[in-house]
Amino acid sequence: MTTFTIGASDFLLDGAPHRVIAGALHYFRIHPDHWADRIRKARLMGLNTIETYVAWNAHEPVRGEWDATGANDLGRFLDLVAAEGMHAIVRPGPYICAEWHNGGLPVWLTSTPGIGLRRSEPQYLAAVTEFLRRVYEIVVPRQIDRGGNVVLVQIENEYGAYGSDAEYLRELVRVTRDAGITVPLTTVDQPEPGMLRDGSLPELHRTGSFGSRATERLATLREHQSTGPLMCSEFWDGWFDWWGGVHHTTDAAASAAELDALLAAGASVNIYMLHGGTNFGTTNGANDKGRYAPIVTSYDYDAPLDESGFATEKFHAFREVIAKYAPVPAESVPVRPTAPAFDVPLTATGDWLPTPAADAGAAAVPPTFEDLGQLGPLVRYDVTLPEELFGTADAAPLVFAEVRDLAWVAVDGVTVGRLSRALHERALTIPRGVRLTVVVEDQGRVNYDHRLGEEKGLIGPVTLAGRQLEGWSATLVDVERIAADLAAPRAAAGSGAAAGRTALRGAFALDAASDLFLDTAAWGKGYVFVNGFFLGRYWAAGPQRTLYVPGPVTRAGANEIVVLELDQVVASVAAFVAAPDLGHREE
């Protein structure tokens, strides 16, 4: 039996000192047909371990409907890591942050009345216990002391930045050990004394998360973890992007120098990220520290392996550093090839928004996404505009208590404005009319701090000329079903205008399945599907200008593309380009 334990100053593999040199790969951000390729390239960089979070809301978006197959097959992912001769670290949270929607927590959980998130509250603990048991059914038989490759399991995630409920942490440990996890348990926090104190327990091994000033931060970590190996469990080698911002990059040489300092100090490391992948569909998170900032579709992270899985300058710089401390395979790693470049004419099919249900609602305030059980990004709200509220005026002020997160406002079918949470907008003047329609987009659920689980949609009452509008109806918008219907052979021929909100579709041929990069610069805001696969969101706000199309979702011969545009297209064409463009950077 192979053992992995924590010694006085080192990790011990079968009793001998062992350094963990790991990299983060999130299986839920990578097409499953690419898992083996990304894992192999991690080994070629010199890594001996792969780390992954477990995204609860990917496995159980609807309560009781657990899925660990296909893109959610954590067991297969861990087995592929083992097949490459590498160890694995599993971080099941239940909270993961990760710039992933709702920090990995399911909406059904966070919207439970009276629930207390990330603390020892009975409803929360009962649900977390069930989740962890399901994860550990997968992990337990794959532990290193049972013939597998899992060497560490993390309890919670940067908990010291959120709370200090030691009983909660102890309960997570109890559930973990009772489920059969026998490998060492860790916690991770930023190297701040309060966080390191509050985020762990004496029986758990503390690790740090940082991307600079390695020597100083390891010293702080040592003050709070007096024995055992030092480890940076999240060595931040890049950063994430948000809509309306810039594309973040870090200097490869500077990052490599920090990695060198870590390894020279004898520390173990987990590089976050080795390969970021993509927030496919609408799985991106958001931050709100006074201003709401939704994360872009790409999670490239300026990592050593780019979004499409190819080696960057940082990969080679890190590989050179690692070679000073550990064996590195001699096999070369290919650079990203030039992708096929071509244009596909698109046919506009007109407005794709569903009409409201025949039985108009009578809600005094608009129901939230949570009230409606909507997991998708859009809800359509409709209400009658009482004529008397306009008086003798041709227009009147419309005021929302709060919009989460972006709302298109129309009167009698004509768009009159848009309101953005990011810009703190919640009011506009509308013309006299009979019917008000408001389409609201959830742009991404906050994944950090105490805004976890906040409601989406129109929040609270809506007033016109100072008086509350009542009698609201709400219609769920299923963008995946709409896209599937538009792509189906039975779909009506394109006859709509390309002005305003419209759906577009087209077809293209490939000689072979291939990674592609789709230029979205000619479009406003919306969603794209290729052969039914939901690539994600695009937005002219940038910085991201291309969407990554994984090769496995394409095929030799005929392929189809569907675009659901919410704003306005400049050109009805899908332009596939030779390389990605993730936007402008800070000078």
Q: Which positions are annotated as active-site residues?
A: 158, 234
CB 403 within 8 A of CB 421: yes
Q: E strand or H helix at 369, and its extent?
A: helix 369-372
For 114, phi then psi, to 5°, come to 80, 5
414-420 and 406-411 as β-strands: parallel, antiparallel, unpaired?
A: antiparallel
Helices and strands (H, E) in the chain, number of each type = 12, 32
What is the SS3 string spanning 42-67?
HHHCCCCEEEEECCHHHHCCCCCCCC
Beta bridge partners of 305: 275, 311
49-53 and 87-91 as β-strands: parallel, antiparallel, unpaired?
A: parallel
Selection from 58, 236, 90, 235 nearest residue 155 by Cα: 90
Q: Is the bond preceding residue 94 a cis peptide, omega within 30 degrees?
A: yes
In the three-class reduction of DSSP (H, G, I as helix; E, B as strand; rest coil), residue 216 is classed as helix
Q: E strand or H helix at 35, and its extent?
A: helix 35-44
Alpha-helical runs (H) found in 92-200: 107-110, 122-139, 166-178, 193-198
Q: Is the bond preceding residue 543 a cis peptide, omega within 30 degrees?
A: yes
Taking the chain, what is the end-to-end CA distance rounded to the nearest angstrom? 54
